[in-house]
Copies of this chain bind each other. A is one copy, B any other.
Amino acid sequence: MSAKRHCSVDFLTYESERDNGKIECSTYDKLIKTAIMVMSEVGYKGMSIGILADMVGISKSTVIHYFKSKEGILLAVMENFLPAYIDEFKPVLNNKSLDGVTKLNKFVHFHMKMVAERKDVLSINIKDGKFLTGKSRTVYQQQQRLYGQQVVRIIQQIQSEETNLFKDLDPHVTAKAIMGMCNHACVWYKKNDILTGR
């Protein structure tokens, strides 16, 4: 019903690449999916409720009806994602029978699996978290810190062990470098790529 809206960002295809199966799903789910797709491409500020509505084929009012506000969309995306993403690794971290190198190995695998599976949400998480306001913002920052500290602790464990690894390096910087390497994969990783580059 709603006329095709002109999208100034030509690298953004309206038809979701993900909907191969065309599985019938609720309006809400369609909205979340589409929001993730759009935001991961053009960012929170670059996304507009109107474009979202057009893509899903509903009216702007309906989008608001589901999420209360634009920030509500960002929040929904993150809430569906963040908690799991933080807690899932804890068991490994706290497993006293594992040495640091093994933990780091596992962590990188864990994190990269997330990149592979949800690089869209992850990049939103990284780039657009700053646009949250109020309480949501505090919660978001807290969670980011907690997640990062996991790696710091692993590095510290490694340094405390017999290896030469990371000797004399600051654990925080090292942790950030490793996270950076992984996270930046959001930018270049392409599904079904056999990681052979291009």
Seen from chain A, the residues whose Cβ lies within 8 Å of a Cβ on chain B are: 3, 8-11, 41-43, 45-46, 68, 126-127, 130-131, 133, 152, 170-173, 175-185, 187-188, 195-198
- List chain B residues, Cβ under 8 A from A68: 3
* A12: nearest chain-B partner, CB-CB: B130
Expressed in whole angstroms, the minimum distance between the Cβ of A157 and any Cβ of chain B is 16
* A10: nearest chain-B partner, CB-CB: B133
Known: A45-B45, A46-B45. A173 touches B196 (CB 8 A): yes
Expressed in whole angstroms, the minimum distance between the Cβ of A193 and any Cβ of chain B is 9
8 further interface pairs, Cβ-Cβ under 8 Å (given A172-B198, A180-B187): A43-B46, A152-B197, A176-B188, A180-B183, A180-B185, A180-B188, A181-B184, A184-B184
| Contact of A180 with B184 in the complex, beta carbons under 8 Å | yes
| Contact of A11 with B130 in the complex, beta carbons under 8 Å | yes
Most B-side CB within 10 Å, residue of A8, A181, A195 = A181
| Contact of A127 with B130 in the complex, beta carbons under 8 Å | no
Please tell me which one of the listed residues B10, B11, B197 contacts residue A171 in the complex, with CB atoms under 8 A apart. Answer: B197
- List chain B residues, Cβ under 8 A from A131: 9, 46
* Cα(A196)–Cα(B168), bound, Å: 11
Expressed in whole angstroms, the minimum distance between the Cβ of A122 and any Cβ of chain B is 13
* A185: nearest chain-B partner, CB-CB: B180
* A172: nearest chain-B partner, CB-CB: B197
- List chain B residues, Cβ under 8 A from A127: 43, 127
| Contact of B175 with A179 in the complex, beta carbons under 8 Å | no
* A175: nearest chain-B partner, CB-CB: B197
Known: A10-B133, A45-B46, A68-B3. A195 touches B173 (CB 8 A): yes
Please tell me which one of the listed residues B3, B10, B43 contacts residue A43 in the complex, with CB atoms under 8 A apart. Answer: B43
* Cα(A195)–Cα(B172), bound, Å: 8
- List chain B residues, Cβ under 8 A from A188: 176, 180
